[in-house]
A and B are shown apart, each in its own frame.
Chain A
Amino acid sequence: MPDTLLTVDAVTAGYVQDLPILRDVSMNVERAKLTVIIGPNGAGKSTLIKAVVGLLSISKGTVKAEGKDITGLSPDRMTDAGISYVPQTDNVFRTLKIQQNLDLALQKQANAAEKLAELYDRFPVLADKRREKAGSLSGGQRQFLAVAMALAANPSLILMDEPSAGLSPKAAEEVLDLVKQLTGQGVTILLVEQNVKQALKRADHCYVLAEGRNQIDGPAAELLEDPALGRIYLGGERRVPA
């Protein structure tokens, strides 16, 4: 019996009423596993995780976390439900210092000081730059800060939107390794990625979305070899994001 943490059941959602981007999308995310969502541009991948964290209203369907219905819960209650979200861009507060970013993310935690020390241990580069504005960080460092802020709330589930986008290949691999490492430590992760090959190499399970609907899903290792994936997504020409 698989241990499911997040269940997305037949969700329809979009930015504008009566113009859904997602139609009847369903998904199960297993505990302490890395689940990745891939699909062509405009498939609705980011839309799905925004809908899960309450930044978009869901017109049909339900979202459950730990068996509790969280459909339509306001975004500021998500951390209470054990869910953190790392947006693709603008995922740190550039005008705040690194320390202030972390203090903000830690503000509801009982043992904030301990937790902060822990995060600095994990990300020494952030400790070194704690007095600097987050806007001064490099792309990779900024992703680390965003992940650190997500971890601050002690989440059971982190939703990440293309953490490797816009990074150098080396920095991208570093970030994806970190993601993998987190699942090893018991954090469940739902990841949206364009960097298909790198993501599938590390993921446990994979969902493919296209045109706002579920296409196929299965164990990541199997999908990597599946010709159907090439048809839906890769279309012969393999586009490697910069």
Chain B
Amino acid sequence: MIQHLVDGILVGSFLSLGAIGLTMAMHILRFANFSHAELLSIGAYCALVFDKVFESLLPVLAEKIGPLSMTGALAISIVLSMAVTGLSAVLIDRFVFQRVRQKGEELSMVFASFGMALIIRNVIGLIFGLSGELYSSDIAFAMVLSRDPMLLVKPDQVFVLIAALVLMVLLHLILSRTTFGFSLRAVAENPNLAQVHGVNLKRMIAAVWIIGGGLGAVAGIFYGLSYQITPVMGRDLVLPIFAATIVGGIGSVYGAVLGGFIVGIASNMALVVLPSGYSPSVPFLMILAVLLVRPNGLFGEARV
């Protein structure tokens, strides 16, 4: 039971990171982006490539950091992968979503995002193969935090949780302390008014994709550290991430953070009562429950 709770919090940390970018894009661009979870895959595979490159260029970076299975090479790769994934998100928007947006209605954007998800996922599969990959093939030993009740935590998981929280605090500071952050929130609330106060809409949209892509990349890498990297990880994560945005209220960054943890915890706790085969259905049940009880989520505003 307590093990499920702890695992759920850890899952929640990368769901939250994924959901933040998704909820921001949904709020500002007003469409449900079903290819958002593919950014997690792009990030995870980018880091895999960078990691291999750095390890072979500078063997010293292949050393593990403390008790973690993470190496110096991977640490640098995370940062680079964030940049590349953010850039990919901007490019995907430029070449696909922006053009569909100018041409059609919101519904076309949703269809286009499904199409993009299908393309990205399968191109990754064609490049890297369909089987899973690991950043490190060494077995990471779990630390026994308690024997009764049995509670195991891997050092990597602790790192993932702390790093995720640090990123969230950083984002909070940007949104609440900088004029760049105010501009982002202003665009989300009222794009026309933001524009007449001198905010460049195109630049803000690019910023949303960079933030979404960057955080998504971290989420994907952390998922890869906790499980393994596969071409279908986006397919498996898209529903939990959407559930997190709905639980938190579409458009609310803080809601997405909380929603991610709630969905992560609930999915793991559900395993206490449900056979594990049913866990892919849990996010859907949570969406249904939220729509029944509180359709606009924890922090969401009603908006048609």
Contact A104 B196 (CB under 8 A): no
Interface residues of A in 94-149 (CB under 8 A from B): 94-96, 100-101, 103-105, 107-108, 149
List, in ascending order, chain A residues with CB within 8 A of B179's CB. 103-104, 107
| A91 at the binding interface (Cβ < 8 Å) | yes
A78 CA / B197 CA spacing, docked (Å): 8
CB-nearest residue of chain A to B200: A76
Contact A75 B182 (CB under 8 A): no
- B190: contacting residue among A74, A77, A90, A107, CB under 8 A: A90
A105 CA / B185 CA spacing, docked (Å): 13
Contact B183 A107 (CB under 8 A): yes
- A93: contacting residue among B186, B200, B201, CB under 8 A: B186
Minimum C-beta distance from A83 to chain B (A): 9
Contact A108 B198 (CB under 8 A): yes
Minimum C-beta distance from A63 to chain B (A): 15
List, in ascending order, chain A residues with CB within 8 A of B190's CB. 90, 93
CB-nearest residue of chain B to A104: B182
A75-B183 CB under 8 A given contacts A90-B190, A93-B190, A94-B189: no
Contact B192 A75 (CB under 8 A): yes
How many of chain A's residues touch chain B, expressed as a range?
20 to 34
List, in ascending order, chain A residues with CB within 8 A of B166's CB. none
| A55 at the binding interface (Cβ < 8 Å) | yes
| B2 at the binding interface (Cβ < 8 Å) | no
A80-B189 CB under 8 A given contacts A104-B182, A107-B183: no
List, in ascending order, chain A residues with CB within 8 A of B182's CB. 93, 96, 100-101, 103-104, 107
Minimum C-beta distance from A52 to chain B (A): 11
A175 CA / B196 CA spacing, docked (Å): 21
A153-B198 CB under 8 A given contacts A103-B182, A107-B179: yes
| A71 at the binding interface (Cβ < 8 Å) | no
List, in ascending order, chain A residues with CB within 8 A of B186's CB. 93, 96, 104
A92 CA / B182 CA spacing, docked (Å): 12
List, in ascending order, chain A residues with CB within 8 A of B185's CB. 93, 95-96
Task: Specify which of A74, A76, A87, A96 lies most central, judged by the most chain B CB atoms within 10 Å of its CB.
Answer: A76
- A55: contacting residue among B192, B197, B198, B200, CB under 8 A: B192
Kindly supply a per-residue 1/0 record for chain B positions 173-203, scoring 1 wherever the CB is within 8 Å of any chain A CB and 0 otherwise: 0000001001101100110111111111100
Contact A74 B195 (CB under 8 A): yes
Contact A80 B198 (CB under 8 A): yes
List, in ascending order, chain A residues with CB within 8 A of B200's CB. 76
List, in ascending order, chain B residues with CB within 8 A of A207's CB. none
| A35 at the binding interface (Cβ < 8 Å) | no
Contact A93 B189 (CB under 8 A): yes
List, in ascending order, chain A residues with CB within 8 A of B195's CB. 55, 74-76
Kindly supply a per-residue 1/0 record for chain B positions 192-232, scoring 1 wherever the CB is within 8 Å of any chain A CB and 0 otherwise: 11111111110000000000000000000000000000000
List, in ascending order, chain A residues with CB within 8 A of B199's CB. 76, 104
CB-nearest residue of chain A to B178: A103
A96 CA / B176 CA spacing, docked (Å): 9
A105 CA / B183 CA spacing, docked (Å): 9
| A220 at the binding interface (Cβ < 8 Å) | no
List, in ascending order, chain A residues with CB within 8 A of B201's CB. 76
List, in ascending order, chain B residues with CB within 8 A of A188's CB. none
List, in ascending order, chain A residues with CB within 8 A of B198's CB. 76-80, 105, 107-108, 153
Contacts A75-B196, A79-B197 aside, 20 further interface pairs with beta carbons under 8 A come to A53-B196, A76-B196, A76-B198, A76-B200, A84-B196, A90-B193, A93-B189, A93-B193, A95-B189, A96-B186, A101-B182, A103-B179, A104-B183, A104-B197, A104-B199, A105-B197, A107-B179, A108-B198, A153-B197, A153-B198
Report the 7 A-B pairs with minimum CB-CB distance, sorted nearest first: A75-B195, A107-B179, A104-B182, A79-B198, A85-B196, A76-B195, A100-B182
Could you name 25 residue pairs across A and B whose Cβ atoms are closer than 8 Å?
A: A55-B192, A55-B196, A75-B192, A75-B196, A76-B195, A76-B196, A76-B198, A76-B200, A76-B201, A77-B198, A79-B198, A87-B193, A90-B190, A93-B189, A94-B189, A95-B185, A96-B185, A101-B182, A103-B182, A104-B182, A104-B183, A105-B198, A107-B198, A149-B197, A153-B198
